[in-house]
Every structure is written in C-alpha cells, then in structure tokens.
C-alpha cells in the first residue's frame, strides 16, 4: 500500500472522538478529521472526495441530528464503495444494526472501544486495500473479499458488490463450493430499490408527525390527576411538570409507559417510528408498501 487513508470520525461525544484520534495516531493515521453531526459528516466526506482523498469513516450509530442509516445513504451517494465502520453500544442483535450492516456498513465495533479491536479492524482494511491495489480488476479476488468480509451474503448482493456477471459469478461460486471453501445456505429475501433494483437499501426511520429523524427512545409518565403525559426526565423531584403535584405511587398517582419515542423537533410521542427505505446507489426513497423483493441463495465462507 502506498500510504494510509484519511479517517473521518463522525461522533457527537468529544471524549470518544479524542480517544479514537489518539488510537489512530498510534496506528500511524495522521490525517484524521472529526465532525459531531451527521450533516457535517456528509459535507466533510464530500469535501475530502473533492480533494482526491479517500477516507475511512468511523460513524457513531446515534447522532443528534440524523440516524446512521441516513448518514450512510448520504456518504454512499458520494462514493458507493466507501468503508464505513459503525460504533455503538447497542446489542449486535439489534435489528437496526443488522439492517445497517446489510445496507453496506463495513464492520461493527462495540463501545467501549478498545485499542486492540480498532487495530484489528484497520489492519484488515489495509490488507484488503493491498489486494485491491495489486489486482484491481480480478473478479475472483473481489468475490472472495466480500465473502470473507461477511458472515452471510446473498448471491444478489455478491453480484452487485463484486460487479461480476451473474453466469460468471455462478461458476466461481460453484468452484469454491466444490473446493469446500464456501457453503451454500438457504435463500435470502431482501428489499430492492423500486427504481434501479439495487439491494443496497437502507431502512429510514422517522417521526410520523413531522417526518424528522431527530427522536429518542424513552419512558413516558402519565399523571392521572391532571392528565399530563411527558418524558420521565421532566418529572423533577417526582413532581409533575404541569401541575407541580408530587407523584408517589405507581398505579394510583401515575403510570409508566415504556419503550416510547419522543421527537426532539416537534415533541410528538409515538410507540413506533414510521419507516421507509433509501437506496444507496441512486438515493431513491420509497415507502414500505411499494417495496420490491429479491430472493437469491445465501453463501458463507468456510476456509477462504
């Protein structure tokens, strides 16, 4: 490799940003740019691309102004093969994390972030970049790269990621399967773009009232006496923010409503966010009811 890529950190916690920057400096990454919002991050990525700098993105899953899926869609619209590493304290089983990974995120790092984990991620990136620089046009190399980078990947996604003709891809996969290097799995059903048929599609969650994405998950408290319903944090010292009466006994004075969402833009409270989809390839946005589905065989690496 001729040199290390630039790194763009999109993270609203200054403490984590400084920690990441210090880690990366130890790994030899001197050109690190930081942003504390999704909008600023997309603009920074665009500016780096205009300057001819290819950057690796470390993206916080929860940002104050945009969710990670929107930020990813914005970055992929600028460079479809951008390397985006998600960092979050959420569980790996969280469906939003899974969707982001299916939508094209490169890897997932758990918080609190450890130096050794970050080191392994960037060493893998450097090794893969070296392979691509040595053999930039080899179909089989690109196919193997994507098989190794995913625990489970569909034929449709492999064809799109590797830019390989489907009949040629089938031959390569059959050979790898016969050599016991990969395993064929059950079929995978995926959402595809209504406009360009790409499977690089990200779910987009938003407030049902104002369509904004600046919402948080929390607990609501309903005060029976005055009918106030607001977030738990608004009940300072156990006093209702509307009538200032103290709440004491659950079920008598008040009830708790768990797993609700509160929009920071319009104040709307809702049990489930609305959802549509954004295509990474063409930026088309479409609702769930117009979704097209693609079904193809799944594969995983065994000994690549």
Local structure of 254: helix, strand or coil? strand
User: Is the pLDDT confidence value at 289 over 50?
Assistant: yes
Q: Provide the pLDDT confidence category of residue 131 given band limits of 50, 70 and 90.
A: low
Instruction: Give the burial string for 113-140 (b: 16+ CB within 10 Å, else e).
Output: beeeebeebbeebeebbeebeeeeeebb
What's the pLDDT score for residue 34? 95
Q: Are 271 and 259 in contact (CB under 8 A)?
A: yes
Q: Which helix (H) or strand (E) holds 115?
A: helix 115-134
User: Is the pLDDT confidence value at 27 over 70?
Assistant: yes
What's the pLDDT score for residue 46? 92
| pTM (two decimals) | 0.58
Dist CA 166 CA 172 (whole Å):
10
User: Is the pLDDT confidence value at 205 over 50?
Assistant: yes
Position with higher pLDDT, 290 vs 149: 290
Q: Which helix (H) or strand (E) holds 110?
A: strand 107-110
DSSP state of 251: T
Q: Provide the pLDDT confidence category of residue 52 given band limits of 50, 70 and 90.
A: confident
Q: Are 86 and 100 in contact (CB under 8 A)?
A: yes
Position with higher pLDDT, 108 vs 26: 26
Dist CA 177 CA 302 (whole Å):
9
Position with higher pLDDT, 292 vs 88: 292
What's the pLDDT score for residue 1? 40
User: Is the pLDDT confidence value at 155 over 80?
Assistant: yes
User: Is the pLDDT confidence value at 117 over 60?
Assistant: yes
Burial class (CB in 10 A: 0-12, 13-18, 19+), 258: exposed
What's the pLDDT score for residue 230? 83
């Amino acid at each position: 490799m001729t040199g290390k890529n630039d790194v763009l950190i999109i993270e609203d916690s200054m403490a984590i940003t400084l920690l990441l920057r210090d880690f990366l400096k130890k790994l030899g990454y001197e050109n690190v740019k930081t942003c504390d919002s999704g909008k600023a991050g997309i603009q920074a990525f665009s500016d780096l691309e205009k300057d001819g700098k290819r950057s690796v993105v470390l993206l916080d899953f929860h940002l104050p102004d945009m969710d990670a899926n929107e930020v990813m869609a914005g970055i992929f619209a600028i460079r479809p093969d951008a390397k985006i590493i998600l960092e979050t304290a959420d569980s790996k089983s969280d469906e939003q994390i899974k969707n982001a990974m299916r939508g094209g995120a490169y890897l997932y790092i758990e918080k609190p972030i450890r130096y050794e984990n970050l080191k392994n991620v960037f060493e893998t990136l450097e090794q893969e970049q070296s392979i691509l620089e040595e053999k930039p046009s080899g179909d089989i190399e690109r196919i193997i790269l994507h098989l190794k980078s995913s625990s489970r990947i569909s034929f449709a996604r492999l064809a799109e990621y590797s830019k390989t003709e489907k009949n040629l891809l089938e031959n390569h996969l059959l050979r790898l399967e016969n050599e016991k290097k990969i395993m064929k799995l059950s079929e995978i059903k995926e959402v595809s773009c209504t406009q360009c048929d790409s499977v690089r599609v990200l779910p987009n969650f938003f407030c049902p009232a104002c369509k904004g994405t600046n919402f948080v998950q929390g607990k609501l408290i309903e005060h029976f006496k005055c009918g106030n319903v607001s977030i738990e944090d608004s009940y300072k010292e156990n006093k209702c923010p509307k009538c200032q009466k103290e709440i004491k006994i659950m079920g008598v004075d008040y009830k708790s409503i768990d797993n609700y969402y509160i929009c920071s833009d319009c104040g709307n409270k809702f049990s489930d966010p609305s959802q549509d989809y954004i295509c990474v390839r063409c930026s088309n946005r479409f609702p769930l009811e117009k979704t097209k589905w693609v079904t193809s065989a799944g594969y995983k690496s065994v000994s690549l």
